[in-house]
Amino acid sequence: MFNLYCLLSKPAAAGFSSRSLTAKAKTAVVMLNMGGPQHVNQVHDYLHRIMTDRDMMQLPFQNTLGPYIARRRTPEVQKKYAEIGGGSPILKWTNIQGKLLCEKLDKISPSTAPHKHYIAFRYVDPLTEKTFDEIEMDGVKRVVLFSQYPQYSCATSGSSFNAIYSYFQKNQFPNDVKMSVIDRWPTHPLLIKAIGSRISDEIKKFPETERDNVVILFSAHSLPLKAVNRGDAYPSEVSSTVHAVMEELGYVYPYALVWQSKVGPLPWLGPFTDDALKGYVKQGKKHFILVPIAFVNEHIETLHELDIEYCKELGEELGIKNIRRAAAPNDHPLFIDAIADIVLQHLRDVKPVGPKFLLRCAHCTSDRCYKSKQWFSKICRSA
């Protein structure tokens, strides 16, 4: 197990106490993400946490319906994880990214070194609360919360930040710890170059005579329309990433933004990736690249949904001549440079939390969201 929390347990309500061990790092970089099951036997608990998280989705009678949906979907989702090797590689990739990030930060920011990365997943180990227990045990006094979602959504980034807020409603926040927030980074130049490089790598694998005809489909996790209408920033921020990448590529290829991973019967943001492929094939298009524009590492939605369900199965069904998928940023050197620069500039910034993060959606009615942002405003500004 990656974390030490199995060995370093403490009472649930203790918080960052005076029992903290000698500091192993001067700066903690906490990498926030939803996570993914490493083994098929973790799938049920993973789904249960998702289906009962009202930040992620709002269901009628959620305490009853959420667990029911989790139980019902478990065998199907277990089968998908089995088909990609038995589990998600998201923890592996996040650890690699975190290690490379901190090695680089130690070199370019010696005043804040040594740096140590921590992983706070929302729905599977290492869970947020256990990770903060570990940070306490390490005695770190400078904590940077670094969302691994380049584009902010209340359902993803927001849920992770709310989980941290909830942790500190049960655990006292220490006066001698400085905490700050990196909540979004959709158009960082090096992120854009990394994604552009991944696309260029795939373009080169098409016949030279067909490269100008390749349709680039930027695919991102969809969002319920009620969340979009509430004012969630995610669609506009994903769009900003797409246009920055196409500017990097010189706008020389046809492209579209499409959406994947719809769940449930309610209306979601479209067009959906599979439907878009069907539509473009009807228009005579024969060559495609799918680009996971909102994911920074490989996981079930790239390895199964994009690779197996769309590129392989749907591609064969539709008779697509050439369809490829650009790799996620993973450990691309430009991407590591990007996240290192993001953290470096943040450490040098006088603002521990951005004003956009503190602004709620125009039609937000969540008391939890209101209290969470009020808490971050107080804690981070006092840092």
Judge contact between 348 and 143, C-beta under 8 A: no
**Token pair for 307:** 């690779």
Distance in angstroms (rounded) separating the CA atoms of residues 53 and 286: 41
Furthest CA-CA distance within the chain: 67
Distance in angstroms (rounded) separating the CA atoms of residues 315 and 304: 14
In angstroms, the first-to-last Cα distance of the chain is: 32
Does 207 sit behind a cis peptide bond, omega within 30 degrees of 0 on the bond before it? no
- The helices-and-strands tally (H runs, E runs) of the chain is 14, 8
Residues annotated as catalytic are: 188, 341
**Token pair for 298:** 């490989």
Distance in angstroms (rounded) separating the CA atoms of residues 43 and 66: 14
Q: How many residues does the chain have?
A: 383
At 17, phi and psi to the nearest 5?
-90, 175
